[in-house]
Amino acid sequence: MKLLTVAEAANQLALSRSTLYNLMDRGELAYVRIGRTRRIPQDELNRLIRESLVGPERFGEIDPHRP
């Protein structure tokens, strides 16, 4: 399991660190606490991206005629 720092995860998502801390504090992003630091599993970032998808592909409504 690959663990990322908050800064690394924020960089991957092009978000601020404070946004990630807010997501963690609201329970929308799981993390591992090691001492006083937080680490975010790469799989958890992937889950957040999958669940945040918007559009017909998200709902299985792929239009075969759409390029």
Each residue's pLDDT expressed in tens, for the chain with a length of 67 residues: 899 999 999 999 999 999 999 999 999 999 999 999 999 999 999 999 998 888 766 555 555 555 5
pTM: 0.77
* Structure tokens given for 22: 């807010």
CA–CA dist 37, 33 (Å, integer): 6
CB of 34 within 8 A of CB of 43? no
